[in-house]
Structure 1
């Protein structure tokens, strides 16, 4: 059955009184109830050959409904005039400073307004095709709400060269993370493998080294600064720390999962973090200011601060470093005075 093939339903005596959208969703595995409701409200349903747009309708025996889904949208990304902060560009690659909130490539729920759409406008049809039509030129990714330095390939030769550098761990990648508490020891290496969570396929989780589904993940961390030491529950501990993380591997959510696993989740992380900040209580201007900023900081406090590599075509040593954006740096400044 195609995605646009009409589906007809006749109300039997046993179905009388049921709600329309739930009933149709129970009749087919093709669509969720939410999708059925949206299709009905969008005019995709007819009752006895006439348009019908009430998803809450209580069924009556003998009614005949026909659902005609609209044709699927063309998934091919289109160029969009989205501003980019370009740090370097030549005929082979482009390096940008990605803002927080920008999705890297189109996917369900984000078919437009992505970095790929911006790159297609900026670069035209010169991007590498190795990543496919959805991910042209994309060699590595940053999460939607992670800011910082990214490199994109503009041709297949550069794409293959960059991919080889990433695979051989010949890329210098450093991130700044504002995390809860203070790691002890203050520097080290996390080597726990990562895999998809069995309970939520959108999340990653740490697994044992003997688990076959686990993928190698190596994160080096070092505390750069600590804040709110006098306010922490334990002597010498801190409320929060600025940590530099250097990656050997680049698994999905790697830093976020690794830091959470050792007990120091990133502030603001809606998936792997905690609500609020243990130990930071209101009652003085500095604490109130920091708490207010943290409540409004609706993303993980993570910034790709540094990217260094040898140009895959010319061999030139390239190195880029970008300070965190205003929201990140403002949050850090608020914690410094605690």
Structure 2
């Protein structure tokens, strides 16, 4: 087995070793989530013999994975993409001796979870570029106070020292730090609302999460507020979705009160709403791009000076293009640069939920 690994090493772009938590999951479901692509795309890779299970081509989509199994992706395209991540220049929203605020791009995981996960991470980027980082967690999570999913873009705060890290972690727990997201969903909300369903791992799909009964002792409390964004008029210049009666793309805001894995995506799924592009959580529409979820606004208190700070992470080009194509966003356009959109999520939230 070791010899085969060496012979194919230059073609390997991703390696995943299955741990106890993912034992029993189907190979195509595991890869769909790990690579953030649809199951049909995973099955395409399997058909092309681009996926190896324990160094042999994977032949069955639904092969059951066991602890310590190794999945390898040998797609040249994926390898090239992963290599390009190493040349990233991630925009800095703020930096001083204690904290760093970045606008994380899509297709970048924040940290790895074990030594055999070879994906390039945000932590790798930070270390490669010489940033000072706290070390309260393990070596995979240097500086990481909170995380964003691989294909979620936007504002993320990094701690440069342990004192800052402890303070920022406390702010998350006490809700002094506020995190607001833009979500493009497949149909309008019935009304702005609070969703407070506990979240647990799916009993069969170990990479997936579901909501459950409040009395379930294995679940974790989770609370999200979803709210409508006013003054977004439908554009008349595009009819892409006009023939799909069940799909009416709608931009909403989300505020996190807890920070569970996949929380926004799971809570939206629970109310039968889905983020465009998020096939893993049951989006079935016509949009084929990446998940349109962006951490747009972040506020906190500086861990040393206690000065209140606010940051808007510019919306990525693909999401701005979508907004300009399908909506009239003139209310939120930058007067000097109409292509730029900034949405005051905290103010909109406070207008609709003053008592929370």
Please, what TM-score do these two structures have when normalized by structure 1? 0.67
What does 1:169-318 align with in structure 2 at a 5 Å threshold? 169-185=175-191, 187-224=192-229, 225=232, 227=234, 231=242, 239-277=248-286, 294-295=287-288, 297=289, 299-318=290-309
- Give the drift of 1:276: 2.0
Aligned-partner Cα distance in 2 for 1:255–1:228: 27
Aligned-partner Cα distance in 2 for 1:177–1:227: 16
2:125 aligns with: 118
Aligned-partner Cα distance in 1 for 2:326–2:250: 9
* Residue-by-residue CA offset, 1:203-250 (whole Å, 9 max, x unaligned): 11001111111111111111114748995888xx97121000011111
Is residue 2:94 matched to residue 1:103?
no
Number of residue pairs matched? Answer: 248
Bigger helix fraction: 2
2:151 aligns with: 145
Gaps of 5+ in 1: 5-28, 39-68, 70-79, 278-293
2:318 aligns with: 327
Compare CA radii of gyration and give the structure with the larger one. Answer: 1
- The alignment yields a C-alpha RMSD, in angstroms, of 2.9
Given that 2:93 and 2:313 are in contact with CA atoms closer than 8 Å, whether structure 1 keeps it comes out as: no
Gaps of 5+ in 2: 3-22, 28-51, 58-69, 71-85, 329-356
Residues 1:227 and 1:258: Cα distance change in structure 2 (over 3 Å): farther
Given that 1:227 and 1:238 are in contact with CA atoms closer than 8 Å, whether structure 2 keeps it comes out as: no
List 4+ stretches of structure 1 deviating above 3 A.
Answer: 107-110, 225-234
Please, what TM-score do these two structures have when normalized by structure 2? 0.64
Aligned partner of residue 134 in structure 1, secondary structure? helix
- Alignment counterpart, residue 94 of structure 1, candidates 89, 94, 100: 100
- Give the drift of 1:264: 1.1
- Give the drift of 1:195: 0.7
* Residue-by-residue CA offset, 1:62-114 (whole Å, 9 max, x unaligned): xxxxxxx9xxxxxxxxxx66422111111111100000111111246752421
Given that 1:148 and 1:305 are in contact with CA atoms closer than 8 Å, whether structure 2 keeps it comes out as: yes
